[in-house]
Structure 1
Amino acid sequence: MREQAGSTNIIIDDTTLRDGEQTAGVVFSKRDKIAIARMLDSIGVQELECGIPAMGREEREGIRALVDLGLNARLIAWNRALVPDIQASIDCGISAVDISLPVSDIMIRNKIRKSRSWVREQLKTALGFAKQHGLYVSVGGEDASRADHAFLVELMRITLQMGGDRFRFCDTLGILDPFGMYDRIRALREAVPELAIEVHTHNDFGMATANTIAGIRAGATFANTTVNGLGERAGNAALEEVVMGLRHACAMDTGIASHRFRELSLFVSRASRRPLPPWKAVVGESVFAHESGLHTDGVLKNPSNYEGFDPAEVGLSRSIVVGKHSGSSGLIDRYRAMGIAVSRSEATRLVERVRRVAQRTRRPLTNEQLLRLYDGRGAEIPANSFCVC
């Protein structure tokens, strides 16, 4: 697995190809999976959760194709804590597995209809089989956020004693807030300091990224993510948000080359047939779009006034939108980009026309509209002559 110069010990385990594809209605072709895996690998993502071998022959063929790529990233397959599932992973050429089993009393009782004793013994059986075959093993605690703390500690100690490599704390229903996540991970870290912890979060209340970062701050060293936050129901923690949040809010650099995030997000958006919203955090096209006069004036004077990081860091660029809320500075800059020099006094007069047109059309103005206004004809042009499509 690639070591990044100057990086922290945080490992991104991206599950776009597993949990991301579990988004209702999403199916990646083998070609899509290969392209996504290569892109993730090329930017330095350290681990890829690449599928569920027990699903069948076609899934196993797709996983085998990824194994054959010889990527730098470690490939890890998801399994129930069942020997046949693990064997299916081995048959794909996989050397790392996540073995998952419910750990909350709610799911133990109502989903698998077993007992805590059964979970303990099943973990020992599955983990023992995996380690006998020399596999790297992450033990996944499904619904860990609703599980009893003492029981989680017990399972983590079993994992450690039997040679397991890490424990995945799953906020399966996305019910935690960042404070709760921090407290839970910190308590587990203190109880079993020798075992690495991974955080796997869901976005049901819009807190997946925040919860992932809180888990890392509390001592977890693995973060489970998906591109664009794809995943079951409301999705998972978004790769691009976690990486940039850690970098700029926490001064923790994962070593991942973020300049291709926009390209990666657009590709996954097309492959998943899930449009990328313009306002999507970090990679949306509107993240660095400025219209408000005060904001535009500030960002033109110094980008750090209203931009938390350079748009080039994620493959984007700044855009100045001319519309109802524009001021003279933004208008001057927009005309300058069109090759037209406009004085401050001219811009002040034009701003009033711009606002009237934007109010009528309920749209920002295009370059063509701005040229017509500059030529002095715009004030007489009725609103319905402007394109509002």
Structure 2
Amino acid sequence: MEKEIKILDTTLRDGEQTAGVVFANEEKILIARMLDDIGIDQIEAGIPVMGENEKDVIKKIVKSNLKASIMGWNRAVIKDIQESIDCGVDAVAISISTSDIHIKHKLNTTRERILEQMVKATEYAKTNGLYVSVNAEDASRSDEEFLLKFVKLAKEAGANRIRFCDTVGILNPITTYEKIKLIKDTVDIDIEMHTHDDLGMATANAIAGAMAGATYLGATINGLGERAGNAALEEVVLAVKTSMGIDMGYKIDKMQDLCRYVAKASDRMIPSWKSIVGENIFHHESGIHADGMIKNPLTYEIFDPTELGLERKIVIGKHSGTAAIKNKLALFNIQLDNLISYHLLEKVRNTSIAIKRALTDMELLNLYHETLSEINVPKEA
């Protein structure tokens, strides 16, 4: 089935713009290959105009015979696009600001000049046979009428899609939906969401954009990116599949290895509680939750952990109940009656509070044997 939504991964461009992060060239090539193995549609490989080192790695990615489209990022400047063409990419992002605060204070120019630059750069790229994404930087803070004019002129100049950039992460899902729907209703052009996480809503805003009609979602592995980062690739992919019911056909079983590799390459470790790929997200301790999960995992899990290469685990600690303790000890061929369970549960909770963490299996077994001794039950029982 044809994908209804496509993913642009910008880990190698916007992700590497994370303060203090630098990928070695060989790391970038491997990341591109891993993204391609998953099935990502388009990879933004870097910024060619940065220099020969950047161009060299982009050229190597282009020559890697990947199935994904390879995009170079550019300002709305002819020289930038020429550098991208020299790298052999099949697609370019042409980026220019559309908000008055950027136009006045960053670029020191006018709205009219912005439109002229964008049109000229887009026409040049199309003349050279490139797929073009025109990026409206700071679109979320742009004047509505001017932004619509920008989008119309981009389409007339030949742009294949518009990248709507929530550059400072100022939107929420409702305002995102409204802005994207207005553009879709006004101009018939593909829209890509590029969302930042300054307020913790990057993934939610990307999904809201998709629900309003955006057909491309931009993301980075592990949510890397400037300041608070971008929408996380792994979150976006699973959210589209689970909350929107659209299976884009990506090999999500390969996501775990990719996320862990990028974490190591970027020296930005994945928190154990991180959604989708955190190692503890299928660990259950709370008594009610653990009991429900033991009876049927669907009570508290929306997808199978094996899909992501993770494991389900019952954790025994302060919040555990007797069902979880019985389940855990059953793994050691120990069957508990209600009396022993009652006394063992009290010991488990007190011990967990004292040591300020969950118990290991050996600690639980030790408490079990202590309980047997205290209530005078033979250990063989």
TM-score (structure 1 length as normaliser): 0.93
- 2:293 is equivalent to residue 299 of structure 1: yes
* Mapping for residues 314-329 of structure 1, pairs under 5 Å: 314-329=308-323
Residue 150, structure 1, aligned to residue 145, structure 2:
yes
1:184-213, CA deviations, whole angstroms, 9 ceiling, x for partnerless residues? 0000001102x1110100000000000000
Return the alpha-carbon distance in structure 2 between the equivalents of residues 329 and 265 of structure 1: 34
**Aligned counterpart, 1:96:** 91
Cα deviation for residue 313 of structure 1 reads 2.2
Report how far residue 84 of structure 1 moved: 0.7
Q: Give yes or no for contact 1:332–1:344 (8 Å, CA) kept in 2.
A: no
Tell me if structure 2 keeps the 8 A contact 1:52–1:78: yes
The list of structure 1 runs, each at least 4 consecutive aligned residues, that deviate by more than 4 angstroms after superposition, is 377-380
Whole-Å separation in 1 of the counterparts to 2:74 and 2:285: 49
More displaced stretch, 351-360 vs 136-145: 351-360
Question: Which letter does structure 2 place at the counterpart of 1:267?
Answer: Y
Residue 217 of structure 2 corresponds to residue 223 of structure 1: yes
Q: Residue 142 of structure 1 aligns to which amino acid in structure 2?
A: E
CA contact (8 A) 1:372 1:378 kept: no
Contact 1:76 1:95 in 2 (8 A): yes
Which stretch shows the higher mean deviation, 330-339 or 150-159?
330-339
Cα distance in 2, alignment partners of residues 345 and 7 from structure 1: 58
Letter matched to residue 68 of structure 1: K
Tell me what 2:378 maps to: none
Does 2:312 match 1:333?
A: no
Aligned: 1:23 with 2:23:
no
- Which residue of 2 is the match for residue 58 of structure 1? 53
Structure 2 spans left out of the alignment, 5+ residues: 375-381
Asked if 1:246 is matched to 2:240, the reply is: yes
Which ranges in structure 1 are unaligned for 5 or more consecutive residues?
Answer: 1-5, 381-389
Q: Is the 8 A contact 1:14 1:48 kept in 2?
A: yes
Name the SS for the 1:50 alignment partner.
strand
- CA positional deviation for 1:316: 1.3
- Matched to 1:278, the amino acid is S
Q: 1:84 aligns with which of 75, 79, 84?
A: 79
- Is the 1:47–1:74 Cα contact (8 Å) retained in structure 2? yes
Aligned residues: 374
**Map 1:1-389 → 2, pairs under 5 A:** 6-193=1-188, 195-376=189-370
| % same residue | 49
TM-superposed deviation, 1:7: 4.8
Once residues 16 and 340 of structure 1 are traced to their aligned partners in structure 2, the CA distance between those partners, rounded to angstroms, is 49
> C-alpha deviations, 1:319-370, integer Å up to 9, x for none?
1111011111111222233454444443332111111110110011112212
By how many angstroms is 1:379 displaced?
Answer: 9.0
Which has the larger displacement, 335-344 or 175-184?
335-344
Residues 161-194 of structure 1, C-alpha deviations (whole Å, 9 max, x = no match): 121110000000000010000000000001102x
Aligned residue number for residue 385 of structure 1: none
Contact 1:353 1:379 in 2 (8 A): no
Partners of 2:279 and 2:196 in 1: CA distance: 24
Paired with 1:293 and 1:299, the residues of 2 have a C-alpha distance of: 10
Partner of 2:370, secondary structure, is: coil
Task: Letter of the 1:208 partner, please give it.
Answer: A
CA RMSD of aligned residues (A): 1.5
The structure-2 alpha-carbon separation of the partners of 1:41 and 1:343, relative to structure 1 and needing over 3 Å to count, comes to farther
- Partner of 1:260: helix, strand, or coil? helix
Q: Is the 8 A contact 1:7 1:253 kept in 2?
A: no
What SS class does the counterpart of residue 375 from structure 1 fall into?
Answer: helix
Decide which moves more: 75-84 or 257-266. Answer: 257-266
Counterpart of 1:305 in structure 2: which amino acid?
T
